[in-house]
Structure 1
Amino acid sequence: MAEDVTLPGRVEQPRREEEAPLVPLVGADRSERARLTSYRFRFGLVYLILAALVGAAVGSFIVLVSRPDLAPEPSWSSWQPEGSRIARVRQIADRIPTSYRLPSGDQLTVARGSDLAVRTETEDVPVDTIYVRPDASRGQAEENDIASYDGGRTVSYGLCGLGTSAQCAITETAPSDERFTILRRQALELSLYTFKYVDDVDSVIVFMPPTTKGESNGSVFLRRENLAAELDRPIRQLLPSQLPAVGSLQEAELGRVIRLTEPRIYAYQFDAGPDGKPILVLSPPAAGG
């Protein structure tokens, strides 16, 4: 019986299953190649956007550093009152009149600021309501179209001349349109500072100095909404004169003062309402001087 014999030096190789041929990458189908290309494009686009943003940020920083003179928005005024509500009103009353001058160079008026009230022998009684009669002379309003405003949200200023021959009258110069215009400018400036820096104020009334005979010389009554645009820009753009004096206003400034105050000049009278509380009645037009 013959035996299987393995010849020395010869090794049987194990049989392998038939291998599948390798498929080169370049043979991938078109959809796969498109997908890979799309990813590469998106990555490049994101990189470019990030690079642009970084470049813009660096550029802005360089511009800011290289422009140390770039100033913030100007403040509304170089001075402002501080403290409580009534303290601010009194500071405004003390400060604003000091800039206004007579032809001699003396101060034109002083001012007293307070909540709107009627002074009695014993106390100041708050005014409950302000009634404003319309100007019916132009046919644009009926005489009974009377507006009413809350006296409790009103600040009042009383202007007083420094003459000695009559209480609170201005005695150095004769009454004139120019002098009354300067007084109106002062009323406007007092109102602007009050609306800007004093809370809970809807109205400001400024009582003009009386005549040398002690007669009333009218008032300027301004509402916050009357000056809304002016409160959004620095006051020196509106009223640039540093030392306003009688007859000294430039044409542009004079025009602004007239425009803002002319329709709001009133004669005034204090009275008692049906409940006995003080009221203030304003009627156009008022004399001035």
Structure 2
Amino acid sequence: MAEDLAREEPRFPPAEADVLVPLVPARREGGAHRVRFGLAYLALAAVAGAALGTTVVVLDRPGKTAGPEWSSWQPSGDRDAHPRQIADHVSQRYRRPSGTQLVAVTYAGEPQVQQVPLSAVAIQTGGDGSDSPPKFVQIENGLMYNLCGLGPSCAFPEGELSEGGLQLLRREALELALYSFKYAGADSVIALLPPNVGNQQDPDDDTSRTLFFQKRDLARELERPLRTTLLAPEQPQPAEIDPDEGLIIDRLTQPRLFQYEIRQAQEGSAFLILAPLVGG
């Protein structure tokens, strides 16, 4: 590239040796010669100037215009610290009407249960009583977050989480996953929900629920700015979620909301049995 941009200085023929300067005034033909030489010099100078101008234009030409930023915030420093930064950033932005945090979000590291690593999830593909074999998904480059309510054992205080609050909780889990895929190098994210969410008709229902995201399923959302997926610039209250955004949240989270059980694999690792939940 440098060789293409570099331009050689115009070369002029060397002066002839032993040129005698006449002692008498030059005849009119000499004047014409000087005029022709001057015009030739100006022409060469114009060519050199044009070459220099071309070089400046090429060097000063701006590169490809960068696209819009994916998000206005992003984690900093070492990538190993990014998941905790993401958990802190996202959790502090989701608030109850009283102003307290919706949930406490902790980064649990690579997926594990009681210090036993999770090697896979088994997603049931049929309904209750179905004989269809589960779909096993190996967990590689996975991250796990715990979304903990402010009641005993991470539960929500009775009657405190409305149906809109569960949608807001799914929105928070989705945002955690999107940031993790974009900045933390994750390929899958498990977000464990508080134990008493999802069934507003049965307050005694303590079914364990989780959201399981895979990066490939959110590829389109990762290619465009975050604000085109989560439309509200600030995290809304449950009753303030825009209907259009609510449809996006439901489309991206409801198919990935599961009831789960923990099973032990023969080689000693653990895996999750995931049963799809309708609604929630």
TM-score, length of structure 2 as denominator length = 0.69
Match of 2:216 among 218, 225, 238: 225
- 2:165 is the alignment partner of 1:179: yes
Any residues of structure 2 matched to 1:238-249 within 5 Å, and which?
A: 238-241=229-232, 242-249=234-241
| Counterpart check, 1:118 vs 2:113 | yes
Q: Secondary structure at the match of 1:102?
A: coil
1:90-239 aligned within 5 A = 90-113=84-107, 114-119=109-114, 124-136=115-127, 143-163=131-151, 166-171=152-157, 173-199=159-185, 201-211=186-196, 215-239=206-230
Q: 1:249 to 1:143 in 2, by over 3 A?
A: farther
Does the 8 Å contact 1:221/1:266 carry over to 2? yes
State the AA in 1 paired with 2:175.
E
CA distance in structure 2 between the partners assigned to 1:256 and 1:192 by the alignment: 14
String of CA shifts for 1:133-177, please: whole Å, max 9, x gaps.
Answer: 11448xxxx7424221223422111101223xx221222853432
Closer, same or farther: CA 102–88 of 1 in aligned 2, 3 Å:
same
Question: Does structure 1 conserve the Cα–Cα contact (< 8 Å) formed by 2:174 and 2:253?
Answer: yes
Root-mean-square deviation over aligned CA pairs: 2.9
| AA partner of residue 252 (structure 2) | L
Distance 1:194 1:269 in 2: 24
Structure 1: distance between partners of 2:270 and 2:67? 44
Q: 1:222 is matched by which residue type in structure 2?
A: F
Q: Which residue of 2 aligns with 1:280?
A: 272
Question: Aligned partners of 1:112 and 1:104: how far apart in 2?
Answer: 22
Percent of paired sites with the same residue: 36
Structure 1 stretches lacking a partner, 5+ long: 1-49, 65-70
Q: Give structure 2 stretches of 5+ with no counterpart.
A: 1-49, 197-202
| Structure 1 pair 287–251 and aligned structure 2 pair: CA distance change class (3 A) | closer
* Secondary structure at 2:266 match in 1: coil
Amino acid aligned to 2:124 = R
One-letter amino acid matched to 1:285: L
Rate the CA distance shift 1:173–1:84 in 2: closer, same or farther, 3 A. farther
Amino acid paired to 2:86 = I
Q: Answer whether contact 2:140 2:187 (CA < 8 A) is retained.
A: no
Between the aligned partners of 2:70 and 2:158, the Cα distance in structure 1 is: 34
CA gap of 1:170–1:287, structure 2 versus 1, over 3 A, is: farther
- Give the C-alpha shift of residue 240 in structure 1: 2.5
Runs of 4+ in 1 over 6 A off after TM superposition: none
On the 8 A contact 2:143/2:188 being kept in 1, the answer is yes
Contact 1:161 1:169 in 2 (8 A): yes
85 and 262 in structure 1: CA distance in 2 versus 1, 3 angstrom threshold: same
Aligned residues: 217
Q: 2:257 aligns with which of 265, 275, 280?
A: 265
Cα 1:143/1:226, change in 2 over 3 Å: farther
